[in-house]
Amino acid sequence: MEYTVTVFLFLGILPLLNSMNSSSSSAAHRCFCQVTGHLDDCTCDVESIDAFNNMELFPKLQKLLESDYFRFYKVNLNKPCPFWEENSHCGSRYCAVNPCKANEVPEGIKSSSFKYSEEASNELQECEKAEKLGSVDSSLSEETRRALLDWNRHDDVEDRFCVVDDEESPDSQYVDLLLNPERFTGYKGTEAWQIWNSIYEENCFKPNTVKRPLNPMERYREKDGRSFYRWLEGQCVEKRAFFRLVSGLHASISVHLSARYLLDDNWFERKWGHNISEFQQRFDEELTKGEGPKRLRNLYFLYLIELRALSKVLPFFKLPSFQLYTGQPSQDQRNKELLLEVLHVAKSFPLHFDEASLFTGNLQEAAKLKEDFKLTFRNISRIMDCVGCFKCRLWGKLQTQGLGTALKILFSERQIEALPKSRSPNPTFQLTRQEIVALFNAFGRISTSIRELENFRSLLSKVH
């Protein structure tokens, strides 16, 4: 999601680069001085994540995401905004998404969303007919049998943290993610500010007494730009974590659009690359009144959460019945081996986030808080249908679904651990192909952001 939606946090603080250069501290220091050492609510540090991601995980993950199974994502970009009247769309040609033609998508992918392999799919269908319906009670009416199937689908929906698109809708189309990359599109203005403003104002457990103006130019007239974040100090660790996840996602998107910015566009050349001033406007400590480095630290927090989910979901992908099914058996097998290699690398990280620290209080309160998490994040996923830039909407929907899938995994630990011993044809934990594609591509975006920070450190070190 490369949209300039993020501009609502950062617009209005555009002093000339010359005045920035006159500062006593270096540009790199102002962006990264606090992005180091121990992370709050974690046992990990920034430097360990940098070394692990950039040297061990990033190269393997990028190779996996280039495979057919992970590059095709089915999405409905024509769903109406459920919260407000949304008639304006980004007029830039870079906002457009080019959907796949029917013959461009492998036949194996254009199958059931739960289909992991042809053999497994056939077996599952037969078992469901024999055991889930017939074996329960052969005298059940057709109406009752349909109700049982509906309950099963409802249970699966209840496990999700996102509102997902109906893959059977005629408006849902496959998109090749490699041909529609996330980058700067020029999407900005009031409509763009409204997206993130709605997320922070209404969906981050923020007290009503704490206000953030729609126009960020107003906020930066305050003497102390840090005041907005003071409300977090009195929140429980779970609500702080939720805010940091959203802020981390926001920061990751900002890094993407700064790293793949349209630097030159004329009749003979179109050049995309790193825009240093754009990055500074979002993360420089002075330009953001101290907020920028906090955003980058939240990016590392988000990385730890999704990395933990990948390490936890390994038993699911190790099941013999699971295949990255595209209809190309030899390639599918190689890709599954690469997938398992990526997951084993993720599991090997020595300083994982400990989710046991969350929801440890009163059982009733903990259950209520978990449900609030789920409902609030579903709301955020619905807001993505209000984004006016179609390419931004594509990557926004994918990344929120990916994070929602990571949360689903972390809250399903017992079901996942039981998978290798279960003989049920309908296990309590399942992932659709869409969830799998979103999970890995969303983490791929965060992994790329961490890698890009190294590039920006190097570039900023040359700005005096």
Q: Is 183 annotated as a binding residue?
A: yes
Pairing between β-strand 72-76 and β-strand 172-176 as defined by DSSP bridges: antiparallel
- DSSP string over 355-393: GGGSS-S-HHHHHHHHHHHHHHHHHHHHHGGG-SSHHHH
Q: Which of 90, 162, 386, 389 is catalytic?
A: 389
3-state secondary structure 250-278: HHHHHHHHHHCEEEEECCCCEEEECCHHH
Q: Which of 44, 90, 100, 392 is catalytic?
A: 392
Q: Does 42 qualify as catalytic in the annotation?
A: no
The β-bridge partners of 262 are 272
Q: Does 95 qualify as catalytic in the annotation?
A: no
Q: Is 295 annotated as a binding residue?
A: no
- DSSP string over 53-69: IIIIIHHHHHHHHTSHH
d(CA 66, CA 74): 16
Chain centroid, CA 274 distance in Å: 22
Measured in degrees and rounded to the nearest 5, phi and psi for residue 50 equal: -55, -50
Q: Is 282 annotated as a binding residue?
A: yes
Q: Is 254 annotated as a binding residue?
A: no
| Contact call for residues 338 and 64 (beta carbons, < 8 A) | yes
Q: Which residues of 288-315 are buried (b: 16+ CB within 10 A; e: fewer)?
A: bbebbbbbbbbbbbbbbbbbbbbbbbeb
Q: Is 89 annotated as a binding residue?
A: no
Q: Is 250 annotated as a binding residue?
A: yes
Catalytic residue numbers, as ranges? 389, 392
Q: Return binding residues.
A: 183, 185, 196, 247, 250, 282
Provide the annotated binding site for FAD.
Answer: 183, 185, 196, 247, 250, 282
